[in-house]
């Protein structure tokens, strides 16, 4: 595999967001019972599959998807038991209603605004009716404010039920990030 210098997993940028353990919002979802081990989960923009691996250890069936070959190469070394797929969240390679729960720790906000409707459409396509999406959308990338607000989230996911939409300070291994934590139900 060739290193792509623009890939955050080869140029070191990934250290900004990487968290070695499960995220606070994932732990909250498990504690609250929003996520249960009988669910089939898709980890959107799984990166090194840290969240996927945590869920898999707890009996979940998890699939990770990410566009970064470098990330997935590392994910397969770290967690060979996890199924990870190299593909684009804007065009998901799954049948309709294949998943009960979608998890996104930090992928959505990397998309350009123009691409976010495709993300919402694809998420709705692969999620069963009544299934949920737990989304963390960071408010800054590379120190620059993202064009993400509570209103833009509500507008984009207008067909979904908003179960939670809160701004929080969330730790990574190297910093604390301001983000919207969003819990959405399909239909």
| Residue ranges binding ligand SAM (CB under 6 A) | 17-18, 45-48, 50, 66-68, 71, 88-90, 105-107, 110-111
Q: How far is the CB of 45 from ligand SAM (least distance, A)?
A: 3
Nearer to ligand SAM, 73 or 128 (CB): 73
Strands 127-138 and 99-105: parallel
Q: Which residues contact 123 (CB under 8 A, 6 or more apart)?
A: 44, 89, 92, 102, 133, 186
**Please, which residue, 79 or 105, has the CB nearer to ligand SAM?**
105
Rg of the Cα atoms in the chain: 15
Q: How far is the CB of 136 from ligand SAM (least distance, A)?
A: 8
- Kind of pairing between the strands at 99-105 and 83-86: unpaired
| Residue 39 or 52 having the CB closest to ligand SAM | 52
Closest approach of Cβ 63 to ligand SAM, in Å? 13
């Amino acid at each position: 595999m060739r290193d792509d210098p623009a890939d955050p997993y080869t140029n070191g940028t990934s250290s900004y967001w990487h968290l070695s353990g499960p995220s606070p919002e994932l732990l909250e979802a498990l504690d609250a019972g929003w996520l249960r081990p009988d669910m089939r989960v898709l980890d959107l923009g799984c990166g090194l599959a840290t969240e996927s691996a945590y869920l898999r250890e707890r009996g979940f069936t998890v699939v990770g998807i990410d566009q970064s070959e470098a990330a997935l190469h590392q994910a397969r070394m770290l967690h060979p038991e996890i199924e990870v797929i190299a593909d684009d969240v804007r065009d998901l390679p799954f049948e309709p209603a294949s998943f009960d729960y979608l998890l996104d720790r930090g992928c959505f906000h990397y998309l350009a605004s123009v691409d976010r409707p495709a993300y919402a459409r694809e998420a709705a396509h692969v999620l069963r009716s009544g299934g949920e999406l737990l989304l963390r959308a960071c408010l800054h990338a590379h120190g620059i404010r993202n064009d993400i607000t509570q209103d833009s989230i509500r507008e984009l996911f207008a067909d979904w039920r908003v179960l939670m939409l809160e701004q929080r300070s969330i730790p990574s291994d190297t910093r604390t990030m301001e983000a919207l934590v969003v819990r959405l139900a399909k239909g």
